Structure formats: C-alpha cells, structure tokens
Structure 1
Amino acid sequence: MVNKKEERARGVALKVLQEVFEKGAYSNIALNKELQSSQLSQADKSLVTELVYGTVARKITLEWYLAHEIADRDQLDSWVYHLLMLSLYQILYLDKIPNHAIVNEAVNLAKRGRGAEKFVNAILRAFLNKPLPDIAAIKRKNKRLSVQYSAPVWLVATLIEEYGQERAEAILASLFIRNKASVRVTDLSKVDELAQALSAEKSDLSPVGLVKASGHFAGSQAFKEGLITIQDETSQLVAPTLQLEGWEEVLDACAAPGGKTCHIASYLTSGQVTALDLYDHKLTLIEENAHRLGLANRVKTQKLDAVQVAETFGPDRFDKILVDAPCSGIGLMRRKPDIKYNKESADFDQLQEIQLAILDSVCQSLKKGGIITYSTCTIVRKENQDVIAKFLDRHPNFEPVALTHECSDIVQNGCIVITPEQYLTDGFFISQVRRKS
C-alpha cells in the first residue's frame, strides 16, 4: 500500500508539472517554490525532484508512448494527461517502486475528477499488460532519435549537423544522467582540505572546482564562511582566461547572478570590476554574492543594458571585458530539461543579433591591447563561433586570441568548446579577441 506521504509527494510533483507544461514555468523555479512551501520530508522532496525532472526530461518519449493508447489527448483534462505522463515515467524508468503501487497511487490522485480514475487505471494497466511500442520501428531517423532522446526534431538535426550523429547521440543520452553539484573553492590552497571536509571530489576541468553526485553545498559551514561558492565547473574556466594581474579596470557586461563577477574580483587588488545587469533584483544578487565572499570593495554594480556600454562609458575605459552573453542556454539542458521544448531553431538568429550588438558596443570602451572574453552556455555554432567570426569581420582592429586548456578534448580552433557528455557538466563555449595596439 502506498503511504500518504508518497501520495502527497506525487501530488506535489503533479502540481509542478502543471505549472511547467500549462503555464510555461521554469522547472527549477516552479519546483523550488513548491518544495519550500511543502511540509515534505527530505526523502519525499528527493522523490518529487526525481519525478518532475524525469518526466520533463522524457516528455516527448512519454507522449509518443501515450499516443498509442489515447486517441485524442485534447479530450482529456490536462491534469489527467500529466498524471498519466508522471505515472508512466515511474513505470518505465524507476525500478524501486512496484508497478501496482504506482497504478493505485495514480488512481487515488485521479479521484479528484469525475470518472477519471477508471480511465487512468485502464490506460496504465494497458502498458503493464502489453509489450511496449518499439521506438526502433520509427522509419525517419531524426524522428526516431527525437522520440528516443526526447528532443525536438530541430535540435536533433542541429546537433547531428554540428557534431555528427554519434556525438550528437552521446550528447543527448548524457542529458538523462543527473546533474552534479559543483562549487568553486575561493582559496586554491584549501582545495584538498575542503574536498575532504565536504566529501567531494576535485573537478577534472577546474583546479578550484569540487563536485559530488548530489548534495546541498549551500547548507554547509564552508559556504556560509565564503570558502566556497556555487558555480558550475565550466563557468569556473571563464575568469582565468582574462589573465588578471590585479590592477585592471574590468567590465562584466552581463553579470547576474555574479558567479563570474566574484571570480574576477578575487584576482583584483587595486583594480575593480563593474558588473552590469538590467534588473535591480539581479544586481542585489551580485552584491550579496560579493559581500559573502568578502569582495564587495572590488565590485561595483550598475543597472545598464550592455548594448549601451559605449555611449555610457565612452572610449578606452576598460582594460579587460567579459561578455557572458544572453543565449539559448542549450548547454544547460541537463539542469533545466524544459529548455529543450521552449526554444525554436529560429531563436538563434535573433540571439545572434543581440550577442553581436553587445560585442559591437563594449568593444568601443576597451583600451588598445585589451581583451574581450566571450562566453555562452550554449553548444550551437550560430551563437558561438559564428558570432566571433562576424565580430572579427566587422572589426578589423581586433584579432582572435587562442585559448588553451590541459584537457585538449575541449579545445577547438583556439576556443574552449565543452559539450555535456564529455565531463557531465553544462555545455559551454569560451572565446577571446584582442584589440590591436
């Protein structure tokens, strides 16, 4: 018999899925909000997290299976359909909960709608009593891979075009492996000591990174004392590319929530980093981050759109500039699986225009000999290599700077290109240009 707690956990998961699928809420935000206001135990919160992320990550696959049993989903209340997705996810992908318990639980939840419980019972029992439809039988390759990896056809096509089929499939398959928890250690000499204290492992990519399969780093004493800060391993590779000596005036043009700003500030002694964002609440986040890490005196925040840098600051103002550009976030799909469904391939052209507009503006405020590091959390060429190529075309007074890293598999033509399957991190891109002296 399923206990009342588990029933509540699934009820909460269903509520979050409604927010995500019906109202377009971000899965991580909707989930956090529900978990914070719930009275669930830690184990139940973990179950809700698994159910939400798992169902969202496998959405296209689950819909394909359900289409074999449901003639017209538009005839159903949306919550009934989402309850079926949630339950089918458990039947197909979770092995700790017995199938009969999953069905009983779904039937109990379905009792809120008249007659819904009989329908839910019948659909789920059909999946238990018959062989599963065979995805391998789908004739069209991109459609088959779309269903297999629960990725829209345009995304499958884009990844195959850019990385070849084998690597594209490896990227997509890796997104079902749960995201690691990762932090940056603020003092390099304490990496070993903190790794031991936090039962974490050292990052393969970042000399100041610690990771573990799961864990709440933000609840630790080390976090409160500013010895660690939450930052993905890939993001930790950005600030070092600026090769700061300490005296520089640095601009972080798209700074919130401030992870990279604080990393930049940690290298500064007499210099300062100016962090820009469009929103007050995001600037507050940067300030809180800087304060906790004891870096507030080296960080200055300013509310400004990065495309207005040239007219606001004038020429020859900054020694070094970071543009961590607004992007599609395709590299974050493991952490935010709904990103897969909320983008269209058409978004890339629009984003490229914004990315170039920011670079065109900030480059005017850079001193001769100064460098701009350009980074994104996307793995799509149109937002990465193509942006840099177009920028260099438009600005003959700039030249590319070749970046290097100990892990040669993430270096591609002088750029750092990390895809999610390589080190089970976010997908990320880093490139650099210099203003000729």
Structure 2
Amino acid sequence: MKPSPGVQPRVIAARVVDAVLHQGRSLKAELAQALPALADPRDRALVEAMCFAVLREPARFEAALSAWMPKPLPRRDNELKALLYVGLAQLDPLALPAHAALAATVDAARSMKRNHQAGLVNALLRRAQREGIAKADVRAHWPRWLRERVVADWPQDEEAVFQASAAEPPMWLRVNRRMTAPEAYRDQLAQAGLHAQTDDAASDALRLDAPVPVAALPGFDDGVVSIQDASAQLVADALAPAHGARVLDACVAPGGKAAHLLERDPSLQLTAVDIDAQRLQRVRGNLQRLGLHDAARLIAADAADTAAWWDGVPFDAVLLDAPCSATGIVRRQPDVLLHRRASDLDALGATQARLLDALWTTVAPGGVLLYATCSILKAENEAQVDAFLARTPDAQAESLDERYGRAAGPGRQRLSGERGYDGFYYARLRKRPA
C-alpha cells in the first residue's frame, strides 16, 4: 500500500518531540538538525507547527492518553507516545483535515517500524476525533517552583501569563527601512495574499496573525524584511543612540537587535560581542543578508571580561540583552519549561550582575546602558536593576513611556501576550557626566 502524503513530516516531528520531551534536548537545536531533510518549505512549517503545538501543552495530550489507555506506554515506546501527541495536536489545536492527518500519522507509525502498533494509533486518533481532546489547565506544564514565582510576582495577571504561554504567537516582521517602508511592504504582502497590520508602538513592525514560511515573504532573501517580535524591536527605540554613535551590543547573537540599529543608522560604529563563536557566524550571516556586510565589528568573547576585548575607548550607548530565564518567550521556546531549574535563577542573577558591573565601565560619561531581558520575573528585572543602582553612584534610571509596558521599578515590564508581544523588560540607565 502506498503511504499517505505527509508521512515524513510526521515522523520527523515525532522524533523531535521525543528528543525534547523524553531526552532533554533543545527544541531549537533539534529542529535545526531535522528540518534540512525536508525540501518543501510547507513541510518544514508543518513540522514546526506540530512540534510547537505539542510542546506548548504536553500535559493535555498526556492526560488524553491516560484517560483512554488501560495502562501507560512503557519507556521503550516513548517515540510512539511522541507520535501520538503529534497526531492529537493535528486534530486540536491545529485543526488539520482529520482524514489526512489520521492516515498520515498511522502510516508514520508503520514507517517507524511500528506496524504492530499502527492499529493502536488509528484507534486512539479516531477516538480523539469523535470525542474531542479535553482542555487542560495550562499551568500544568509549568514546574511548580516557577508557577509560584509567577503568581507571587504577578498575582493580578497570572492567568493571562499562563494562557499566553500556551497560545500560538503572531508572526512579527521587521521591515528594513533602508529598503522600504512598513506601509509599502504591507501592500506587497497584500499582493501576495497575506494580510498584515502596522503597530502604533513599533514603527518598523508588521503583524501577521498566522505564521508563514519565510520563503513566502517577498524580498526576504534580499534583506527587505526580518522576523523579530515587536518587544525586541522596541529595543532600538529604548536605546536610541545618536547618529554615528559608538555602540556596543554585548550579548549580540543571533543579531536581530544589532541589525535593527544598523538598518536605522548604518553610520553607527557598532561592536558586537558574544561568548559563542558559532552563534557569531549566524550574526554574520544575518548582517550579510541585510546588506550590512562590514557594518559591525564582531568579537567572540565573554563580554564581562572587558580586558580580553575592549580597546578602552568608551561607548556612547551599550545594549545588554542579558542571559535570562526566557520566561517571557515560553510560547516561542516551550522547552524552557522542561529544562529550566530553580538553581538556574541564582546563576543567571549572578551573571546579570557581573555583566552590568563590567559593562558599566565601558560606558562614556553621559552615555547610556539599556538593560533588557526576555524574562517576566522581578528578580531578574526590577530587583536586579535596583541592586545595580544601589551600588553604582554614577548611574541613574531614565524613564521610558508606556510603549514599553507597565512601570516596574526603574524600568518597564511587558508581560507575555500583551498587545501580542513577547514578555520583555527594559531599563535605560544614564551615566552621570564626569
């Protein structure tokens, strides 16, 4: 019998989900390794959609199987369990055509040399089609210690935060103003059958409510547009370097914020540092796609070890997009909730403080440092900046407006999902003139 179309994407998705859920692997790394096997960008997009749908709510699919099976699958069948999750996710929330989804998933089981279990897959998915998949408390996917921190930090917003973490985010585009304007690019998208909206707060942003493969975006390969959440795009406004300023992006990879700054002002003297030399190659590739080949000086180093890379000439503006818990981008990196440990926060807090103290020495008198994270935890954000200000007499916080979220100590906090944005924190710090 000829296999149903779409078998390979289901097999790949099941193996990625198995690696992330059961083997502790990184979703981003697994997808990067698996997706090149698929020539059709639609198949790559389908794999991503299935993996994200499962990993945003794995407890929901686990509960469904537990309710319908007399005993749980043994560990040796983890790959089959992952395929079942992928099958369930196709029905809800992805709402793919049920007949095609069932046929392809059953054939995927056979392709994975599980012919003897293909009937089980068929029976469970047909039951899900008949009865539906019960909703689950989205909090169930959050480790208890982290749930408690979110509730303690945001008691009035906890439910919205948890719901946003399980929702598919919109696709945010950043239009390269060196090449076109957002309104003009929106018209190009409309001609391609894609509806996009501008955003009042993020001037270079367009919002697509449903994601599409980058190959569907006119001019992507030529650098006309990039993928970047609106929260991250606002960093350029919050830092706001003067024309031609000497700028440092201290934790640059993958380079979207540095590229945005250079798109706005190619005359910036931008130094970009990252501790991971391999990730710097991605930064270089992104800049080349945007036509910014030699616009930045890229350095592989620990940004906190200034003696190893800094020439001693102060910077007018420093961006510290600090390593953090990533609790503001769970909907984009759902495996954060699988891999994060309570002990990580202490280590991250120490790293954030070390970077703040070290990089402050590189800021010119009268210059600014923007501290940013994609976290929603107060310990990493307002408490971290409060502590820095208390020990740094020549630093003072400058106010940011409501575009950046709610007031949160010396900075502003955007919670996950607000305005369709990722969770993000911003604090703009000015060094007093000498």
Indicate the TM-score class for this superposition, using the shorter chain for normalisation.
0.7 to 0.9
Q: Do the aligned residues in 2 keep the contact of 1:9 with 1:40 (CA within 8 Å)?
A: no
> Which residue of structure 1 aligns with residue 240 of structure 2?
243
Q: Do the aligned residues in 2 keep the contact of 1:315 with 1:367 (CA within 8 Å)?
A: no
What's the CA shift for 1:374?
0.7
Match of 2:415 among 413, 416, 419: 419
5+ unaligned residues in a row in structure 1: which ranges? 136-143
By percentage of residues, which structure has more helix? Answer: 1
TM-score under structure 2 length normalisation: 0.85
Match of 2:270 among 265, 270, 273: 273
What's the CA shift for 1:330?
1.8
> Which residue of structure 2 aligns with residue 51 of structure 1?
50
Q: Do the aligned residues in 2 keep the contact of 1:307 with 1:362 (CA within 8 Å)?
A: yes
CA 128–279 in structure 1, closer or farther in 2 if over 3 Å, else same: closer
Q: Secondary structure at the match of 2:154?
A: helix
Partners in 2 of 1:342 and 1:222 — Cα distance? 36
Q: Do the aligned residues in 2 keep the contact of 1:227 with 1:293 (CA within 8 Å)?
A: yes
CA 386–326 in structure 1, closer or farther in 2 if over 3 Å, else same: same
Partners in 2 of 1:104 and 1:292 — Cα distance? 40
Matched, 1:331 2:324: no
5+ unaligned residues in a row in structure 2: which ranges? 191-195
Q: Deviations over 1:136-186 (max 9, x none)?
A: xxxxxxxx5533xx333233222211111x522112222333232222223
Partners in 2 of 1:333 and 1:47 — Cα distance? 20
Partners in 2 of 1:418 and 1:246 — Cα distance? 28
The total of aligned residue pairs comes to 423
Q: Secondary structure at the match of 1:383?
A: coil
Q: Do the aligned residues in 2 keep the contact of 1:419 with 1:428 (CA within 8 Å)?
A: yes
What's the CA shift for 1:338?
1.4
Q: Do the aligned residues in 1 keep the contact of 2:56 with 2:167 (CA within 8 Å)?
A: no
Q: Secondary structure at the match of 2:379?
A: helix
Q: Do the aligned residues in 2 keep the contact of 1:256 with 1:277 (CA within 8 Å)?
A: yes
What's the CA shift for 1:270?
5.2
Identity in percent: 26
Partners in 2 of 1:123 and 1:379 — Cα distance? 38
Partners in 1 of 2:135 and 2:305 — Cα distance? 54
Partners in 2 of 1:2 and 1:411 — Cα distance? 60
Q: How does 1:140-219 map to 2 (within 5 A)?
A: 146-147=139-140, 150-164=141-155, 167-187=157-177, 190-199=181-190, 200-213=196-209, 214-217=211-214
What's the CA shift for 1:343?
0.8
TM-score under structure 1 length normalisation: 0.85
Give runs of ≥4 in structure 1 deviating > 6 Å. 128-134
Q: Which residue identity does 1:113 align to in structure 2?
A: R
Partners in 2 of 1:408 and 1:283 — Cα distance? 28
CA 87–191 in structure 1, closer or farther in 2 if over 3 Å, else same: closer
Q: Do the aligned residues in 2 keep the contact of 1:327 with 1:377 (CA within 8 Å)?
A: yes
**Root mean square deviation, CA, Å:** 3.1
Q: Do the aligned residues in 2 keep the contact of 1:246 with 1:267 (CA within 8 Å)?
A: no
CA 121–293 in structure 1, closer or farther in 2 if over 3 Å, else same: closer
Q: Do the aligned residues in 1 keep the contact of 2:14 with 2:86 (CA within 8 Å)?
A: yes
Partners in 1 of 2:340 and 2:201 — Cα distance? 29
Q: Deviations over 1:330-388 (max 9, x none)?
A: 22211222122111232111101011111111111222121110111111112111211
> Which residue of structure 2 aligns with residue 141 of structure 1?
none
Q: Do the aligned residues in 1 keep the contact of 2:87 with 2:105 (CA within 8 Å)?
A: yes
Partners in 1 of 2:279 and 2:21 — Cα distance? 26
Partners in 1 of 2:335 and 2:325 — Cα distance? 12
Q: Deviations over 1:71-112 (max 9, x none)?
A: 3444552112222322333455454433x7766655544452
Q: Secondary structure at the match of 2:153?
A: helix
CA 218–6 in structure 1, closer or farther in 2 if over 3 Å, else same: closer
> Which residue of structure 2 aligns with residue 313 of structure 1?
310
Q: Which residue identity does 2:306 align to in structure 1?
A: V
CA 243–54 in structure 1, closer or farther in 2 if over 3 Å, else same: closer
What's the CA shift for 1:212?
1.2
Q: Do the aligned residues in 2 keep the contact of 1:201 with 1:210 (CA within 8 Å)?
A: yes
Matched, 1:231 2:221: no
